[in-house]
Structure 1
Amino acid sequence: MSDRPVKSKEWNSYTVEGTVDKNSKSLSFGGLCLFDGKFYFDKFELFIENDKGVYEPVTVLNSSFESPISNGDVPKWIQGISNDAIVKVKEYKITSDKSSVDGKNSLLIEGKGIKPRLEAKIGNVEGASPKIADMISMLEDLKARVERTVKNMSQYEIDYLHDAEANRIGALVMHLAAAEKYYQVFTFENRDFNEEEKKKWGNALDLDQGGRDEFKGHDIQYYLDIYNEVRAKTIEELKKRDDAWFAEVQTRYDWTNQYCWFHVMEHQSSHLGQILFLKKRIPPEQKKTLPQEIKK
């Protein structure tokens, strides 16, 4: 309901409608709150339309939050989108409340001290000159989109290879880190990769058969940790420079430093689209079964 957020201080009924694709693995629903404040939830109901066009109720356990909440855990509900993606945020306190529309209790989530990530804002980065601040905020926005897309993917999903010419999603995240690392040395040190750096980053940068062979068998956090380390260095070094440096030309390619980092930004966008395309086309994992023993 991002297009119609609930801001009323009174109890009201709200409906979310949608179509469940035939290939969907699961349906996640619940309550979402943003920033500081008190957020009340009660009486969740789920209806599925049958073949005759009739909406049939589906049982939702603890739908009105009558079961007592203990230590911030809501019985029969998950804080996240699955048992494998439980998320607890320390700034949010989860309790029962006597204000309700069904039964004696409702769910109360109270946020205090939330520091929102700036969305849809360019620039104003502490310690950075104006144009560099613009670039940092754009780089960070795109990196956050990549992370949101891949962070809950399974080992099977990030290692899945569509065909002999494709790239694994884990390798693509590594490629983003490698390309950014290259532009660090190119713009900050006016050079190419040295032999040690080529050995470390070469397969990730080229994404040929070497990349397909090397980048598999790691969970997604392995790649994100490397990406985060590279990005931290980028921001640290960019903040040391000013807008005049941004306008300087790298004579080898007749590119300004600003254009080089624009390229890093749009490179993220390009591969994010590739990752989204690949992710949607990963077939369900086939469960391995042991052959049954044949008895004579």
Structure 2
Amino acid sequence: MSSSNSSVTKPSLFSVFTAITKARLTISVMFSTLAGYALGVDQWNVDAFKVLGLLSIGGYCMVGASNVFNQIIEKDLDALMDRTKNRPLPAGLISKQNAFILGCVLTVLGLAILYSVNEKTALFGAISIFMYVSLYTPLKTITPLSVFVGAFPGAIPYMLGWVAATGTFGIEAGTLFIIQFFWQFPHFWAIGWFLFDDYKKAGFFMLPTGKRDKKTALQVILYTIWTILASLIPVFGFTGKFHISIVSAVIIFVLGLWMLFYAFKLYNKMDAQAARKLMLVSVSYITLLQIIYVIDKFF
């Protein structure tokens, strides 16, 4: 009877694949890449949609590979945390060897596809996976600066879309990078705040002071302000082809105040509920921001 139940509840290969590549996270990252592509493309034709498809597949492979290697390295640590103990590796749904093979296949396939788009896109994709796996992942158990290091590969996907569309890295791609770079600090510190106890079990240092204190909350506020200011840079007309209207800037500013309100709320309440709310608002902010940028360009 028990073996019958086990065979019924055994996860499918697809569910294991989506779990170990963190499909939801990967798709959200890919959304920013595609938004960056939409901002950089001059006109929508067959070739543009072809590149869009290649970018989607190649991008998923690269981000998915990063997540696979991350989980291989953190297998034993994931087993200690409630949030991650049921991931495929600690749960025994896939072996380290098979996960490593999967990660390598995704990396090679992703790089090849991105290279077919253009060389710079493949280069930045390679830099992203290297920094995420070789620098950010091991630093998480050593220093709070891991968030700073991780913000670099985390900011690459947004500007990667522009590079894929134009084949160039200039002020436009740099601006997209800066926006997503600053945004990651309040976002991940909010996550680090409400998952503090769980992260502590694995020895992860995710908050700038290592504590859920006023200094951490103050830095959340400051980086939220930097995020808002960076998001408004395109309205001033010195970011090349990437510019937005005053109307869009006003809307973005209001969205920024919304996020800043919850950053102050965290500072005042100092609890996990406020941090979780800020995290959700930060996700809404960056998503709506990217949508507004694209709508502003085409409409």
> TM-score of the superposition, structure 2-length normalised?
0.33
| Larger CA Rg, structure 1 vs 2 | 1
Higher relative contact order (CA closer than 8 Å, sequence separation 6+): 2
Q: Which has the higher helix share?
A: 2
